[in-house]
Structure 1
């Protein structure tokens, strides 16, 4: 007997409202969607980014499983790296325990499967609370939980982007907190803490933006305004924000410390047409160029049906439109993404298309609204009843297509056999930044670093030393390794006179020694020692990691206290008003006290150009050509060095000397055109020396901006190097240029010199 529409609706409602059955369904959908990753566990993703990112997880798992230590220091990457301070590591997440127990390669697919279930359940709870329909939320949950970008990211080794699947939990928690429920703070603080620990450099700031918007949405809702509870909601949200800061300090403090020493700058003006954005979102991923954010086009029927819900559909529809605007990047005029990048933290975002992930969540909310609106009308007559039945069939078909699309994107991965591990003493090697996953199983550290931020690395790192621990003056005595672990080293030293013990790893202020004083030798880890026999024990005890963890424990303790106190008196776990803000602030006050009482040297960055030369210089070299050009913004083009011809390899090294004399907009960038016989080459860049935007550069310092061009395909003849400034992050207009005596410069450009390209052999 064919099931009637009412039977289908009852079945959907029963599944949606029975937690065990619902989670079982989500687990089954995740199993089918992630079958490709789960069926090939234990193999290695051969994509270059995966080599780098997975080596972090392998290092953390090895530190826990083999040495019984917390993953604080990673000696296998970039010559030694503060693991908690690296933005893209996920070693501060509870999922590391799975990696330690199962092996990092095997655990990766299991973690993906778990996050898919978490994402679907989070979307269900958020959509049900927004729409009031359990069946509608059930239909919408897999559309977001099995978002195409998660599969695409996994295929490239970017598993940390699964942190986006926590977004609905964060929005759900923000709404609960604003409504006066104490558990809302736990959802928000826990969600952000997990995102931070999972290495979610994009999901965290993007989620914070949408959490703030959801908080405003809830405070402005009719029930809170009519009851007057919005004032209590403001206090609750303030306390939630403080609790979230405290709960995430185990990771935030190390990150801030690292980014101060080595700022991560993202330049460029990426943009996408609306057609490209639409194809990324709605075209089935049949080839490698489209569908990376796949969301079933059939769900648009329900999105359009959401207009039946009227006012409830307005907010998600408007916000989804804003997400599409943001995803267009600089191609949209005006560019909302360009405006967002002017804000602190958001300036590190480079890829605007990732705003299609929250767009998918908002489309899922609209899908739930549209489906619920049809269900409500199913009792109005036979036609509506059969329409709702057709909607159920369409929804189920849409989920099936979403599952298939996820599998297609996940199958694009390139897997190779996992390298065989070799048990041997640790040592550094030159390495290869795009094959880093092959070195760690050999217990070799790679000093070829491929990170997206300027990791402080010593120029004295070596990949060919006979031993990793040695005396600075070999004639002063001997040094012998006793024990080696990632966070603890023990070395026997017999010194005939005062000397320094050097360790072939990067220096960090978190290293402490039982004897002597820890010092930096051109960025290399060292310990100054007096004469005599010493057993030197070096421990990595970073203030930011240990202190930040203590702050996080205090934050959770304060939240537990607020939950326990009213229950002890027979009340409910609601916010106690302004008192909660005081309790939430105490862990941050304790952090301030720790920073004062627990002093630690600050790791200052050594700012260099891409060619290794220092960014700052005290004076111009003799062969520099003086220009002294000025612009409408307070930037001076002081001088330049342009070679007369390419070198033997066909490379043209260029150096421009700049001086910033006042406040400059962040959007100001440098354009470089090299014009020759019938064509033009460009070397535009928005960041001086790969380090500073003009806005952030030190005032009145002489900045050496060094870069290079390849002239291998240039036609023989004379090529002129022309330079100016333009609003790279704005309307693209050139800045007006003037000579030193305020005479306007034609075409707002300066000629730096001429390069003669000889005839080809």
Structure 2
């Protein structure tokens, strides 16, 4: 073997195998990638999504530093909401400490740097375990961390997506659990808890899929059934510990999902060609958005000769299939959305991140193949050098694309704070950062789920706390903070106190009873002089924190016993893992709190469920070849002042409906021109398959009239198989006669000529 490549490779491998040297390299690469964002520290990203998501962190910092409270409730957005139960908040994780120390905006680029280092180190450890190649894992780790998705996350303010960089730690923890190593329990439970606390609405469920795949792979490693049963026991304990350590965030999120259900509609698909462009960039243009630098394909090709590459190839194939969404007739993504919690996923192309991850693992395996032969073959040694050079070139290319994206971030000066008493305002969800600086709440809501908001919220009240009957007395604010209100009330007779914020069952009052007054936070008070103190003490937040503390205590006991080389029996590990969940169940039974009923509304705010056809709607009766009836429709005669046409269809489900059934809406003019307004989810909440039976279902949707030519238009509706063969479902009149083409006339409207 040639001396030159051998010395180079031996030096590179020594750096990779030495933790301190390796981390120095990873820190240097992360600093290189985060250099421009660090230079933007302190400025405000004016992108609309960033305005919403960042403001949650700003509110949490303000709650802790100025009021000395946990950021459980935030009054500054949507009229007040449960911050710990909001999917997009990220303060319930250790990175929040940096926001407290540096300020929320200055902390964000620091978090980018730290997560990039974490991602590279986690990838190195997982890829080394999977492939056995120290050098291969070292040179491909930056290719995963410098993924274009993380640059786009910085550009759009989706800091929550940095949680995807904890993916390798979750997989590493699972692999170690399968080897019955206690450290795996800590890694898996800790990574998931941090990911969930950091706002992991996408990272957590998507990562959970591949953790399950890793667990199945680990179960197949032992050769005997008794060994597999022991591994299964460890995996069960890992699942229980993970649930327990995540309870502080999981319980509030489950509570929110129950009170504000939302299903994402549509059938997005990604063709193989588009997926390849998204993954590797456009040929000849490497300065933009892509998931993986193309030179890694050279390393991937070498992995074809490695037996260790079989699992990463399988995982990469499943990732590509999921990322294709509905493009193929046989859709794995469609099957995934049939599972609980996964029906909220609407961007299958984000699975391309996992495809890029496993391709990078394959790259590490490919370099490992040549490394194993390098001692015997000079050609193989030079091949390893070449592949290392390809990985280095890919890293430079990835950083170039990363930099091109982050440079497009629109940064404006941080708004000047105005110190004044808190009050609600009409607001603007795309400029929420300015409202927080003004200590004003924005009634305009930009959340990703239907926040239960009171229709009685106002942005023009002279006083935020008032009596329903003004003649019954007076209210004076003594002290205000997000989680605590102190009021002096003089009531000449029994009265209801109202606070201009949304009601939540977690609010408690020192006097009287907390009630919902048309969705507003209210207190039923007797006559007299009262010092009323309102506190926000949600069962799910406080109880979940207790469960998580117990789970971490159990992991601590397990770690101490393992360190003393005193292995615990299987039943002891099971007790430590299951104990916190038993406490969780007992808290749910013993700690009573009124449930927040789900508020089922359409995007336009109208109720989703109605008992009878509204008088303004016209009858349009039809029965279909599935147990669904159309009872009526509301079609406006012309566009409104904003050029919008708002339609409503009234359906009734009488039996079990197949999952593939959806609504087609054809808007046709007298010349035969047509536009489609097809959809599969009613009001953004129910598939026909899951819709309640009995009440009418108001299905509201809107189109923009300016894109329609002037004239008279008919609205024809029906049902069809949105998957399967795409055929229309037979429509019948109430008398049983077939309706031509399965299309029911819902109404007509006229688009006037342009002035």
CA contact (8 A) 1:120 1:146 kept: no
Q: How many residues align?
A: 753
Are residue 183 (structure 1) and residue 176 (structure 2) matched?
Answer: no
Are residue 740 (structure 1) and residue 738 (structure 2) matched?
Answer: no
CA 1:313 to 1:291, structure 2 compared with 1: closer, same or farther past 3 Å?
A: farther
CA distance in 2, matches of 1:543, 1:495: 30
Greater shift in the superposed pair: 669-678 or 385-394: 385-394
CA 1:403 to 1:510, structure 2 compared with 1: closer, same or farther past 3 Å?
A: same
**Corresponding residue of 2:258:** 260
**Corresponding residue of 1:278:** 276
CA distance in 2, matches of 1:48, 1:189: 33
**Corresponding residue of 2:634:** 641
Q: Provide TM-score, normalisation by structure 2.
A: 0.96
Consecutive unaligned residues in structure 1, runs of 5 or more: none
Q: Secondary structure at the match of 1:267?
A: coil
**Corresponding residue of 2:587:** 594
Q: Secondary structure at the match of 1:435?
A: helix
**Corresponding residue of 2:645:** 652
Distance apart, 1:566 and its partner CA = 5.0
CA distance in 1, matches of 2:328, 2:555: 43
Distance apart, 1:641 and its partner CA = 2.5
Map of 1:304-703 to 2, 5 A cutoff?
304-309=301-306, 311-568=307-564, 570-571=565-566, 576-647=569-640, 649-676=642-669, 677-703=671-697
Greater shift in the superposed pair: 553-562 or 30-39: 553-562
Q: Secondary structure at the match of 2:650?
A: strand
Distance apart, 1:325 and its partner CA = 1.6
CA distance in 1, matches of 2:644, 2:177: 59
Are residue 47 (structure 1) and residue 47 (structure 2) matched?
Answer: yes
Distance apart, 1:651 and its partner CA = 3.4
CA contact (8 A) 1:305 1:373 kept: yes
CA distance in 2, matches of 1:708, 1:561: 57
Greater shift in the superposed pair: 350-359 or 628-637: 628-637
CA distance in 1, matches of 2:739, 2:726: 18
CA 1:623 to 1:473, structure 2 compared with 1: closer, same or farther past 3 Å?
A: closer
CA 1:746 to 1:5, structure 2 compared with 1: closer, same or farther past 3 Å?
A: same
Q: Provide TM-score, normalisation by structure 1.
A: 0.96
Distance apart, 1:334 and its partner CA = 1.8
**Corresponding residue of 1:303:** 300
Distance apart, 1:439 and its partner CA = 0.8
Distance apart, 1:738 and its partner CA = 2.7
- Deviation per CA, 1:275-322: give whole Å up to 9, x if none: 11111110169989x95342010010010100121x211221122122
CA distance in 1, matches of 2:602, 2:283: 40
Distance apart, 1:451 and its partner CA = 1.2
Greater shift in the superposed pair: 130-139 or 704-713: 704-713
CA contact (8 A) 1:285 1:408 kept: no
Map of 1:241-260 to 2, 5 A cutoff?
241-260=239-258
CA contact (8 A) 1:178 1:230 kept: no
Q: What is the Cα-based RMSD across aligned positions, in Å?
A: 1.9
- Deviation per CA, 1:379-431: give whole Å up to 9, x if none: 22322222222222222222222222222222221111111111111111111
**Corresponding residue of 2:91:** 91
CA distance in 2, matches of 1:286, 1:266: 36
Distance apart, 1:3 and its partner CA = 8.7
Consecutive unaligned residues in structure 2, runs of 5 or more: none
CA distance in 2, matches of 1:730, 1:71: 47
- Deviation per CA, 1:103-149: give whole Å up to 9, x if none: 10000110111111110000000000001111111011111122111
CA contact (8 A) 2:291 2:352 kept: no
CA contact (8 A) 1:90 1:160 kept: yes
- Deviation per CA, 1:424-476: give whole Å up to 9, x if none: 11111111011111110111111100111100111111111112112222111
CA 1:38 to 1:299, structure 2 compared with 1: closer, same or farther past 3 Å?
A: same
Distance apart, 1:678 and its partner CA = 4.1
**Corresponding residue of 1:720:** 714
